Amino acid sequence: MSKTPHLGIAWLTLLSTTLCASAQSSTVLPDPVPPPLPGAIPDFSNQAVLQSFVAKATDLTLVVNTPVIPPTVPAINPADPTDSRNPPEAPELLGRNLSHSYIIPGGFYFHQFDWDSYFVGIALLYKQVTAPIIGVVQNFLDQNGRFYNIVGYIPRELSPYQGFSLPDQCKPFLAQMALQASLVQNDFSWLTIALPVPPGHLQEVLKPRLYNYYTYLQDFISYWETYRQTSDGLFLWTSEVESGIDRSFAIQGYTVGVDLQVYMYREYLAMAGIADHLNVPADAKSYRKKAATLKRAIRNKMWFEADGTFYNLNPYSGKPIKVPEWTNLTPIVNHIASERQAYILINRHLLNKDEFWANFGVRTLSRTSPDYNLTFRDTLLSYWNGPVWVISNYLLMHGLLNYGYRNEAIELANKTIAMLVNDFKNPTIDVNPISKMLGIGGMHEIYNPDTGSESSPGDFISWDLLGLHMLDEAVYGSDPTSTGLYTREPGRQDEQAEAPDEIQD
């Protein structure tokens, strides 16, 4: 494939000034908090090194004009023969699949993915870049009812070429993306733009109504509730690939996933926040009530006292799937776990060096598991079964902050940044062309938890960009993924819109 003109200098310039803004200007942060205790000294110098490395690689794209670093691309124009994404065999699909600007995990992708887009978007929000994040939501929601005539079904991946990862459903991050981007731009009006009736929608026959991106989001939520919710009020993954935890031993066909409940809880809160801003108080109240109900169900039905952890469940037998995976720890991310549950979960498991806590972050599978595997280059079975990922480090860092483990959160941020800096300082044979020209390394998908060395082939961008501000967030206690109610600057702690805690510990 020749050099791809579709990215355009405008997008390259945007990203060279966006992704690594801290290397050039300061981000607004809250008032300073007391200094960390000894043993948890934030290494801001290393964070600056990481920001500098990424800034250099991004700036060079202005010269070589190749889509390696920038994770955003403009909308496809089916009529443009110079757009290399236009497959001549199916041009009629393109305008419907990716008609808005969107985010990709890395330069070698043309695909739009669900949770990759959300977490890359969090990095973009540090400089108030919202258009490609909203574009991702619009592209996904434009698929409403297109497949199987099922309203609310949205594929987890969109591609200009072929396939849509059918029948996997898009993970519940769309409302969170919509809320966060709309809060930053202080404009929710795009959600009320009139849209056509989704194919297969009986609502128009039974009770006509207006359709817009907000109602499409409601359809998306309703799909989860109609087709994926058990009688216990919990939600189902259909496969490990749909969950994003590829090759997970904790997902065995239809599975009640701990992580899925957390994402749905956040999605309910995001829908409530959107409803507030659109002045639909009845919807806001309903979604908060659903969030509170789900929170109770997670605490009461997925917690196993004898093991001191949450587990995925077999939906048919109700029995726990006792695989010690990092997703068991995710109820600390949005303060879903009770104080007592969190204390046990964090001290017995997360901070246990024989299980999850490692030199460079959190192992994705406990070292005590017989399936623990770090040999990615020999077998793909290691993927989420031991190696460290930036995304799991990031989420669990915020979980630690939620329960007062600030020093440990700073330590985890330091470890993550050191791992990424080490990757840049030690080039491998499979880095991208930009890094090769600079004589530096890049970032990868997974890392060895003990040595910090990269453990996967190919260069990777995606949510590794969260490392650029991870230490700031740990030190200042800020969470840009917070489903807050009010307009805010990313990186600044704001009032939460969380469901009320109605359970006594």
Tens digits of residue pLDDT in 66-84: 222 334 556 655 455 555 5
* Alpha-carbon 264 to chain mean position: 13
pLDDT of amino acid 97: 67
Quote the pLDDT of residue 14: 37
Please answer whether residues 403 and 332 qualify as being in contact, where contact means their C-beta atoms are separated by less than 8 angstroms.
Answer: yes
Check pLDDT > 50 for residue 336: yes
State the Cα–Cα distance between residues 336 and 243, nearest whole angstrom.
Answer: 20
DSSP assignment of 441-505: ----S-B-TTT--B-SSS---GGGGGGGTHHHHHHHT--TT--BSS---TTS---B-PPP-----
Q: How far apart (Å, rounded) are the C-alpha atoms in residues 160 and 9?
A: 22
Q: Please say if the pLDDT value at position 87 is more than 60.
A: no
Q: Tell me what the mean pLDDT of segment 432-445 comes to.
A: 62
Task: Please state the length of the chain.
Answer: 505
Q: What is the mean pLDDT of residues 439-464?
A: 77
Q: What is the mean pLDDT of the chain?
A: 79
- Tell me: pLDDT of 106 over 80: no
The DSSP code sequence of 32-44 is: --PPPPTT----H
Residue-wise pLDDT for 252-311, tens only, equals 999 999 999 999 999 999 999 999 999 999 999 999 999 999 999 999 999 999 999 999
Report pLDDT for 294: 97
268 CB contacts (<8 Å, ≥6 apart)? Answer: 221, 287, 288, 290, 291, 294, 499
Among 152-161, 170-179, 234-243, 410-419, the range scoring the smallest mean pLDDT is: 152-161
Residue 15 or residue 401, greater confidence: 401
φ and ψ at residue 285, rounded to 5 degrees:
-65, -40
Helix runs in 195-324, H state only: 203-206, 213-227, 240-243, 258-277, 281-301
CA angle in degrees (0–180, nearest 5) for 66-67-69? 115
Average pLDDT of span 41-58: 77
425 compared with 301, residue with greater pLDDT? 301
- The pTM of the full predicted model, rounded to 2 decimals, is 0.83
Mean of pLDDT values over 412-416: 95
**What average pLDDT does this structure show over 188-201?**
84
Lowest average pLDDT, out of 47-51, 53-57, 100-104, goes to 53-57
pLDDT on residue 68 = 28
Whether the predicted pLDDT of 108 surpasses 90: no
> What's the confidence (pLDDT) of residue 143?
87
Residue 50 has pLDDT above 70, yes or no: yes
What is the band of 427 on the pLDDT scale with cuts at 50, 70, 90?
Answer: low
- pLDDT exceeds 70 at position 85: no
What is the per-residue pLDDT for 499?
59
For residue 498, give the nearest of 350, 344, 297, 288 by alpha carbon: 288
Q: Is the pLDDT of residue 198 over 80?
A: no
pLDDT at position 94: 41
